[in-house]
Structure 1
Amino acid sequence: MGGERGILLFAHGSRDVRWREPVEAVARRICERDPAAQVACAYLELVAPDLPTAAAQMVAGGARSVRVVPLFLGMGKHLREDLPLLLEQLRTAHPAVDFSLRKAVGEEPELIDLMARIALAQG
């Protein structure tokens, strides 16, 4: 059985299987840093699993709290409109689980700084 804490990485999705590689690399890195957490990837469209499926698997694995982390650079329509509806559906489907939502990773100062450093790097 998995841990009681879940982290769901939520990304857009693409038909190109290579597109998933960085998302899954983030998931692996989280597992390395915190082996007690359940970590999964979920996608808005074009790729399985979707958010409801990944959340249900996490809850079935024993998660009592799930943090949804949007791997988006900005707060577009998907995060403003689609994700809040999906989150409400999760809360309705799993009332005993505490679902929380982080802001888009692209809005985090650490990531903004890292992207700027990468852009400025020589080589």
Structure 2
Amino acid sequence: MTPSSNEPSNAQALILFAHGARDARWREPFDRLRDKLAVLLPHSAVRLAFLELMTPALPEVLAELAAQGTASAKIVPVFFGQGGHLRRDFPALVDQCRQQYPDMRIDTATAVGESDSVLDAIAAYCAAQAALTASD
């Protein structure tokens, strides 16, 4: 993705990090989330990266951002919980990227599913669905 004209060369970046899947349709909600965040964060580069099975991979996204002179990137794992990938694979991948791009500050967040506000939103959705079923 090419930076838009409103992205300064030293922009902050937000990278949504997802697992990936063989079915291309699986990424559609992640693309929508990225697009929503791009509107909410107009002065940040918002990107999507995958652990496996889909592209771009995290190192590719960080290479693009580094080439654009991005000063800092926050990686948000769009995972429901802290499973094996986030406990083992993700930290090793981030450490490798930090070594490769020492001039870029690379920070990480916990999995989105670890946030009470995210769980509250999911619970509200599930309760609304249960209410719909109960009224049928």
- Indicate the residue corresponding to 1:64 in structure 2: 71
Local SS of the residue matching 1:67: strand
- Indicate the residue corresponding to 1:34 in structure 2: 41
TM-score normalised over the length of structure 1: 0.96
TM-score normalised over the length of structure 2: 0.87
Rounded to whole Å, the distance in 1 between the matches of 2:53 and 2:69 is 27
For residues 60-96 of structure 1, give each alpha carbon's deviation from its aligned partner in whole angstroms, at most 9, with x where no partner exists: 1221100000000000000000000011011100001
Rounded to whole Å, the distance in 1 between the matches of 2:56 and 2:39 is 22
For these two proteins, the number of residue pairs brought into alignment is 123
Rounded to whole Å, the distance in 2 between the matches of 1:40 and 1:79 is 19
Structure 2 residue ranges without an equivalent (≥5): none
Matching of residue 108 in structure 1 with residue 115 in structure 2: yes
- Cα RMSD between the aligned structures? 1.0
Rounded to whole Å, the distance in 2 between the matches of 1:114 and 1:35 is 24
Runs of at least 4 residues off by over 4 Å: none
Rounded to whole Å, the distance in 1 between the matches of 2:23 and 2:67 is 29
Q: Among all aligned residue pairs of Structure 1 and Structure 2, give the percentage whose two residues are the same amino acid.
A: 37
- Indicate the residue corresponding to 2:16 in structure 1: 9
